[in-house]
Amino acid sequence: SEEDEEGEVFDAECLNLINEYFYGVRIFPGQDPSHVYVGWVTTQYHFHTKSFNRNKVRRVTISGIDEFDTEVENVERNSCYVVRTDELFNQVTQDVSGKGASQGMFIGCFVDTATGYVTFTCEGKQTKYTYRMEPGTKLFPAIFVEATSKDILQFELGRTPTTLPLSAAVLLNSGKHLTPQFPPRLKIQYLKPHQWARVPNNCMRIHALKLSDIRGWSTLCEDPVSMLALHLPEEDRCIDILELIEMERLLR
């Protein structure tokens, strides 16, 4: 059995019944919450611009129908599931001026692996923002922020009375646990523009000739090498299409 900070004891069987995980984001006073988006991203999200725009998020709705053309299932698939923090704050407060939001807030992000639902709280109060995940969806905690003050925000990787810490889902070899087991200092991965290209196996023979100061340089490749590549966005790499015969996992 394990014991939490308040002294409540949970046995192993009880821990196995908990399938909801949590991480929090504390926004410090002075940071404009309208420039902070919190939530989760999938492996299909890719960085395209310097500023985040929810209207450019890729989304598709998958509907299942039966033999009578009746819709029996409806799932919305997005490349990311994030919300703006000032919208969360407005749902749990009556302050229409927005002055209270600039004094800081605490956002809770929850994911239930049993039901597939992602929910959000603000200052400990539940909000209406809910997303439904498909089985097997890979989610990663994410924040999009534009700094408006020196102290911006901090991640809080603890737990609530009804959830487990995020480390219980990430560190599979540790099993389900109550006390967060992440190291004290974590490195935050950040999105940056990236270009990929395959280098040919044989070096091409390139001839360069300076025609004149006005006309510039002339380059000539005698034997150009052509190839067809397959890009794997989940692994951020590409492989030659001819190499697929050696990778049965990708041929399924």
In tens, the pLDDT along 223-234 reads 877 778 888 888
Q: What is the pLDDT of residues 144-158, one digit of tens each?
A: 999 999 999 999 888
Is there a domain that residue 8 lies in?
yes
Q: How confident is the model at residue 48 (pLDDT cuts 50, 70, 90)?
A: low
Q: What is the pLDDT of residues 150-186, one digit of tens each?
A: 999 999 888 888 888 888 888 877 778 888 888 777 7
Is there a domain that residue 182 lies in?
no
Is there a domain that residue 181 lies in?
no
Both tokens of 15, joined, read 């821990």
Q: Which domain holds residue 141?
A: 2-174
User: End of a domain among 174, 197, 230?
Assistant: 174
Is there a domain that residue 80 lies in?
yes
Is there a domain that residue 189 lies in?
no
User: End of a domain among 158, 174, 190?
Assistant: 174
Check residues 46 and 125 and name the one with the higher pLDDT: 125
Both tokens of 235, joined, read 């692994």
Mean pLDDT value of segment 179-205: 72
> In terms of domains, do 169 and 219 share one?
no
Both tokens of 96, joined, read 């229409």
Is there a domain that residue 93 lies in?
yes
> In terms of domains, do 73 and 153 share one?
yes
> In terms of domains, do 165 and 229 share one?
no
> In terms of domains, do 143 and 83 share one?
yes
Q: How confident is the model at residue 75 (pLDDT cuts 50, 70, 90)?
A: confident
Q: What pTM, to 2 d.p., does this model score?
A: 0.69
CATH number of the structural domain spanning residue 87: 2.60.120
- Provide the number of structural domains found in the chain: 2
Contacts of 142 (CB under 8 A, 6+ apart): 38, 39, 40, 41, 45, 80, 82
